Amino acid sequence: MSGSADPPEGAPDGAPGGGEDEYRSVVFDESFVRAARIQELSAQERLDGSARAVRIRHVLPRGLARQVTALILLIVLAFGFAVYMGVRHPYRAVAPGLGEQLRVTMIPLVPVGRVPAVSAAAPFAGGTAANYKIGVQGLVLPPLHAVGGFARSEVQQAYAIAREYLDDSGLDQDAVTGGDVRKVRDLLDPGQLAQFDASLTRPSEDSLHNSTGWLVRFDPAARITLVGATRVQGTLDATETSHSLLEVSSDHTFVYALRGPHSAAGVASLFTVRRQLRFRFDHQDLERHRIEVVEADVAAGPLPCSVPAQGFRPILAGDTAPAQAVAADPYDHGRPVGAVCVPLSSPVAGPPSTRQTSPTRPLSPAAARPSR
C-alpha cells in the first residue's frame, strides 16, 4: 500500500481533488500586473474604510503622462507670449472707423471772359500742357532712400501705393466721369471708408464730405466725356512724422480735354485740376496695400465760383462764368471759411486780365488754404 491515495477516476489533473491546474500555462509576470487597469486595494486601505475594493490605474503610462503635461504647459506658455507680443506690438494698429478724417480745401478757378475752344483732334497743342507727360507717365517716382524708421523698400511701396491712388482717382475714366469708384475705395484705410462713402452718397461743402477732395470727379448730371489722354505733371516726396508714420506729399496738375452734350463738332475744352494731397502710412498699411488720405487742397477750373459738392460742372468752350456775388461774408455760416475762388490763368489764352472776379488775388491752393 502506498502513502497517498490515487486520484479519483475521471477527475482532471491538477484540479481540486485531483488532476493538474488548468491555469498552469498562464504566467502573471510583473509587466502584466503593472499593465492592469484595475488594482486591488491593499489590506490597510481596505481597513481604512474605502468604499471601493479596487482602484483604477491611469490609462497612460507615467512617463507618457509627464510628456503630455509638458506639452500642454508649453502650448499655454506660447499662447501667453503671443498675447503679450500682440499687446506690445511696436506698430500702430487702427481699428476700423478710427482713421483720421480727410480735410478738403476746394478753390474754384473762375474764367475771365469766355472759355477758349481747342481742337478736339489736338487739344493740347500750343498750350501749357503740351509738354506734360501722358497719363500715368506723368506720375514720376522720385529717387528712393530710407526715411526714418522706414526702409528703402517700404518707401518704394508707399510711393507705389500713392501713385496707384493718383492714377485710380485722377486718370481712371469711369471714376472721373462719375462712374465706378471701387478701385479708389479698395485702396483706402478701413477707418476712412465711412467718410468716403458719405462723400459720394451724401456730399456736402463742410470740408469733410466733398467728393472732389477724394478724386477728380465731374458731376454725372453734366454728362462730360473725355477727349484723348489726360496730361499730368507733378512731384512726390516722403518724410517721417513725429508719430513714426510715413507721410507722402503729392503735388500734381492734371489737364483734361473734354466735351459736353452740347459742344460743337470738333471742339473741346480744357479743364485743369491741381491736386496737393497728403498721404500717411504705418507699417501695417504698407503690408496690406492701404493708404490714408489726410489732406486735399484742390484748385480746379474753369468753374463758377460755387462748386457743387457732388462733382465739377465745368464751364465749356464759348461760355462765361455766371454773374454772382463773390464777396466774402464772415456772417454767413452756411459756407466754409476757406470757400474762396480766384481767376483762372488759361493754359491756352494766357494769364487773366487785372480785373478781379474775386476779392482775393490769384493764389496757389497752398497759399489760399485757411490756417488750422
Q: Quick one: pLDDT band at residue 370, thresholds 50, 70, 90?
A: very low
Mean pLDDT of 89-108: 66
pLDDT higher at 314 or 93: 314
pLDDT exceeds 80 at position 7: no
Q: Quick one: pLDDT band at residue 340, thresholds 50, 70, 90?
A: confident
Rounded CA gap, 155 and 159, in Å? 6
169-215: pLDDT as tens digits: 999 999 999 999 999 999 999 999 999 999 999 998 888 999 999 99
Q: Quick one: pLDDT band at residue 94, thresholds 50, 70, 90?
A: very low
pLDDT of residue 70: 82
How many CA atoms are closer than 13 Å to the CA of 279, on its beta-carbon side?
A: 31
pLDDT of residue 239: 96
pLDDT of residue 331: 77
Contact, 270 vs 347, CB < 8 A? Answer: yes
pLDDT exceeds 80 at position 134: yes
pLDDT of residue 142: 95
Handedness of CA 279, 281, 285, 287 (dihedral sign): positive
pLDDT of residue 25: 58
pLDDT exceeds 70 at position 244: yes
The C-alpha cell of 297 is what?
Answer: 487742397
Q: Quick one: pLDDT band at residue 83, thresholds 50, 70, 90?
A: low
Provide the whole-model pTM: 0.68
Whose grid coordinates read 490756417? 371
